[in-house]
Amino acid sequence: MDDYFVILYLMPKDFFSHLHDKKTPPTYKFFNGEAWMDGASSKTVEVISPIDNSLVGRIPLVSNLEIDQAISNAKKAQEAWMRVPMIERGKILHLAADWMREHEHYLTALLIKEIGKNTPEAKDEILRSADMIDYFAHEGLHVKGEELSGEAFPGYDQTKMAIVEKVPLGVILAIAPFNYPVNLSVSKIAPALITGNCVVYKPPTQGAISCLHLTEIFYLAGLPKGLIVTITGGGAEVGNYLVSHKDINGITFTGSSQVGKEIAVKAGMIPLLFECGGNNPAVVLPDADLYSTAIEIVKGAFSYSGQRCTAIKYVLGLKPTIDKLIPMVSQKTKEFIKMGDPRIPEINLGPVISDGEADIIERRILMAKAQGAKIIMGGKRKERLIEPTILDLVRPSMEIMQIETFGPVVSFLRVESIEEAVKIINSSDYGLQASIFTSDEGAGIQLARQIKVGTIQINSKPQRGPDHFPFLGVKGSGVGVQGIRYTLEAMMRPRPIVLNKPH
Ligand code: G3H
């Protein structure tokens, strides 16, 4: 019988029982690459549900000594792993994808509790992650090196040739954010593993429990010991230590622009693949279909309570356009957005991740108001629930325009000309995505070419997927390019071996 099916047949029934103690709520262990371990210091961090402020569980604060030991084991394991044929590595990844689907209900429920997504959003995250693992495993098979002849450059001939191999970077540090703890972990772990790297994985504090489950899925799918090391604890403690660790050969990170910049400074001269803040604009041209534009703006601004790096944060248009558009966006918000406990099926706007984040969002709204913005809708808060908020008369100098606000708030700006809109967008510190709404695709493409962001969407809200499209930010929004094939390339380096034959 094929190994793949043997593993499938032997899968333990109590799949996740090793991860925690028997208490309620449980204290979880970390994974040192070989076994689930209690932290040596017994210090833990609490994971609090944004839905009801309840304790979901505790995660260990892993010590530097434990990190050093785990990374040392990972390094050794990687050297053997890179020699395992890619087709065999891929089988393990496919099995991990299958186990994610098998445990979809359980993982969805955990994600809802831990980060406050609603059921469709959480379920989509799990299934999208399984599909992503499969896609990485397939696409990995098509990564290839090349052979180059010296004769193409003046002064050289066929006696010099390069065999350009693609080799793994080595030890990849993967740092995932709270808003897609599973999916934005998979987007790092799967490409790293299929290309022969090992992974030192730092989950976010909120989302960590889902991430520990993900670790177990990879491990029980047959990943050899040492190849995935999952280190829990706060960013200030373990995060800082990890990013400047001498044995890390590359970092893939999703999180705020501010943290990204700090990591880049600490990491030094190693390859970085960062997806950071967005603060994404939407430009509405006078000929846009305002009905569908309004729907896209509502979805873009308020899905997962605006806690997406690809959320629409501000909308620009000429005065007549914005005058017509705001009432339509307000109307569609009332129709589509239902705020409350995300476990209730009709609710599609749940709490933001923590009291601290809710404080920041509330303060930004109040600051914008104090600076002259008008609250058209929302603006109020009940604990971690922030009403879907529409601000008018916003100006580029306001704080709400300058720093990404990770909550359900969208600002409207009236501009004198579309050139002014372009100027405002291009002067931002961010550059992830932008949307252009128009009924003239040609005009949309022309305008897209003037906007300095990673991706421009014409007649849609910004979004990362489909996951094989290139996904990148410029300026403070990121470093490098993600998207299945692009991520795989980023996890490898070329190794030219140059043959010099006799003349
Ligand atoms: O928050 C950042 C994510 O990459 C956004 O992904 O566009 O699929 O929501 P999404």
Query: Among 125, 279, 310, which residue has the most ligand 1 atoms within 8 Å of its CB, making it the best to mutate?
Result: 310
Residues recorded for the chain: 503
Instruction: Give the bridge partners for 252, in sequence order.
Output: 174, 273
List, for residues 180-206, the tens digit of each pLDDT value.
999 999 999 999 999 999 999 999 999
| Residue of 121, 309, 357, 404 with catalytic role | 309
Between the CA of 463 and the centroid of ligand 1 the distance, in Å, is 6
Instruction: Give the bridge partners for 32, in sequence order.
Output: none
pLDDT band at 18 (very low <50, low <70, confident <90, very high): confident
pLDDT band at 4 (very low <50, low <70, confident <90, very high): very low
- Atom 7 in ligand 1: residue holding the nearest Cα: 463
Chain-centroid distance of CA 220 in Å reads: 24
Residue 211 appears among annotated catalytic residues: no
Structure-token pair, residue 97 = 């994808």
Query: Among 185, 187, 305, 309, which residue has the most ligand 1 atoms within 8 Å of its CB, making it the best to mutate?
Result: 309
Residue 309 appears among annotated catalytic residues: yes
**pLDDT computed for residue 11 by the predictor:** 39
308 lines ligand 1 (CB under 6 A): yes
**pLDDT computed for residue 235 by the predictor:** 83
Sign of the four-CA dihedral 260, 314, 300, 344 = positive
List, for residues 276-333, the tens digit of each pLDDT value.
999 999 999 999 999 999 999 999 999 999 999 999 999 999 999 999 999 999 999 9
Query: Among 184, 276, 307, 484, which residue has the most ligand 1 atoms within 8 Å of its CB, making it the best to mutate?
Result: 184
Note whether 382 and 349 are within 8 A (CB): no
Residue that is written with structure tokens 């920041």 in the block:
360
pLDDT band at 1 (very low <50, low <70, confident <90, very high): very low
Residue 361 Rama label (left phi>0; alpha psi -120 to 50; beta): alpha
pLDDT band at 5 (very low <50, low <70, confident <90, very high): very low
**pLDDT computed for residue 15 by the predictor:** 83
Structure-token pair, residue 474 = 């410029």
Average pLDDT, the chain: 95
172 pLDDT more than 80: yes
**pLDDT computed for residue 237 by the predictor:** 87
Q: Which amino acid is at 389?
A: T
Rounded mean pLDDT, 12-19: 75
9 pLDDT more than 70: no
280 lines ligand 1 (CB under 6 A): no
**pLDDT computed for residue 80 by the predictor:** 97
List, for residues 384-400, the tens digit of each pLDDT value.
999 999 999 999 999 99
Rounded mean pLDDT, 73-98: 97
**pLDDT computed for residue 481 by the predictor:** 98
**pLDDT computed for residue 503 by the predictor:** 87
**pLDDT computed for residue 169 by the predictor:** 98
Domains of the chain in sequence order: 2-10+31-144+164-276+481-490 (3.40.605.10), 280-470 (3.40.309.10)
Rounded mean pLDDT, 232-241: 91
413 pLDDT more than 80: yes
Ligand 1: nearest atom to the Cα of 308: 1
Ligand 1: nearest atom to the Cα of 307: 1
276 lines ligand 1 (CB under 6 A): no
What is the Cα–Cα distance from 216 to 200, expressed in whole angstroms? 14
Residue 235 Rama label (left phi>0; alpha psi -120 to 50; beta): alpha
312 lines ligand 1 (CB under 6 A): no
pLDDT band at 14 (very low <50, low <70, confident <90, very high): confident
Structure-token pair, residue 144 = 């290839």
Note whether 241 and 214 are within 8 A (CB): no
Model confidence, pTM? 0.95
Ligand 1: nearest atom to the Cα of 179: 1
* Counts for the chain of helices (H) and strands (E), in that order: 16, 24
Between the CA of 32 and the centroid of ligand 1 the distance, in Å, is 29
Q: Which amino acid is at 31?
A: F
pLDDT band at 12 (very low <50, low <70, confident <90, very high): very low
List, for residues 479-502, the tens digit of each pLDDT value.
999 999 999 999 999 999 999 999
